[in-house]
Chain A
């Protein structure tokens, strides 16, 4: 893959690297760049460091805005070749560059972050000095922010790989130089991973290489360009879930042996009271409509993918009106498991169709989640999610029995 590099200060070595992947973030990238600079100066002042913007050839001049942002720490810009898009493709350039620079610690933060503080840099990179190889963020999130995380990424990776990592697709990460090498050498790459599937790909690789993982408390909520649950983009859903299902295939010998999950270390408490996240409003009628749309377009495929039992439960869910709607967690778990099995059996070109057919059911599950938790506090909702995770783990034998050899 061709990469264009802009390295105005000729940086050839660095101990600490901060990566900021972007595409058309000219209006936003200066803020995380300044906070990264402050964090590096304040907490890693004695080390050689660099801030790297990995960009997809933005049309809006993002790289120039980045390079023009006044920082004490030197900056590098890496551009994918024209026409190549995706966060994963940006980070792939970062892995290679981090190795080339001899970095010991790398932290990645998104370009559209509004709430990043210098402490985030400390908390993502400092655990890497204490034998941890991979750091995921831990934020207080609104109960309806991160519905793909809550319904799929967290419970499914926890159930599969036996590690409780609450934000496996948090967007902000830390990893060691050794981990960058594992990422760089990994055989498995795909269009899902090249795009939004990269976060779950990194977390899954760390889990499967038995890398010590810690969750680092960020103190402030993650505030970025928000999207309500009913506006989850099809591409985001397809790429994240596609990457989860894809990674299940090579790592089946590992996850099939795991019966239950264990907690993951925590880093960074003592920041005082955590700030409450901003509200996320959900349009229940829109979620219901998006689910109902699936009954017009996906019934034949559902009939093909799902067992009679699960198919019947889906039809039952549809028969309820919005004000009585329920999508039982056991049904959702089996929907995911059976879709994962169908994904494994399908040729690559048919897999997007499966993911598109899963999306309406995800909207139904999200609607059910919203209805059941609407009177709950964030903490009560966390507990609700934990109980759903237990259902995933209890039903895992169902997946193991059906997984094709």
Chain B
């Protein structure tokens, strides 16, 4: 069964790019364009991992991260951002990883693989 990844980003081209590339890696990808009713979406879809944009027009990704963590403390979350200033906010330490947005998804793919790994040796 492929692992399910939820991409949360308000930029359509980013959702498209991530969906295409991650689907090629064998993941099942679903998307959301905002943080609106995101917890309900997570409850319904039960993703294995969330890729979360920090700066969306109507939502602060770090607040969403906090909401996710309060309810699903074992759900891996990777933060995506154009700038690394978000690290000044202590909430950011609740994320599994962060990646700087880029059209080269090598780093993101590597972080996703690591976060989905159980962390245990066989």
Contact = CB atoms under 8 A, between A and B. Distances in A.
Interface in A254-276: 256-267, 269, 274
B113 to A, nearest CB: 11
Given A212-B73, A263-B96, A265-B69, A162 B119 contact: yes
Contacts of A259: 117, 119-121
B10 to A, nearest CB: 23
Contacts of B90: 138, 140, 217, 266, 269, 274
A383 B87 contact: yes
Interface string B81-94: 00000011011011
Contacts, number: 51
B87 A265 contact: no
Interface of B: 66, 69-70, 73-74, 76, 87-88, 90-91, 93-96, 114, 117, 119-121
Contacts of A274: 90
Contacts of A140: 90
B114 A269 contact: no
Contacts of B93: 164, 166, 263, 266
B76 A260 contact: no
A176 to B, nearest CB: 16
Interface in A218-268: 256-267
Range for the number of chain A residues in contact with chain B: 20 to 34
A254 to B, nearest CB: 10
20 contacts: A162-B119, A166-B93, A212-B73, A214-B73, A217-B90, A259-B117, A259-B119, A259-B120, A259-B121, A260-B117, A262-B74, A263-B93, A263-B94, A264-B94, A265-B73, A266-B66, A266-B90, A266-B93, A379-B88, A383-B87
Nearest to B97: A263
Interface string A134-174: 00001010000000000000000000001010100000000
B117 to A, nearest CB: 7
Contacts of B96: 262-263
B31 to A, nearest CB: 23
A266 B66 CA distance: 8
B76 A262 contact: yes
A217 B91 CA distance: 10
Contacts of B95: 263
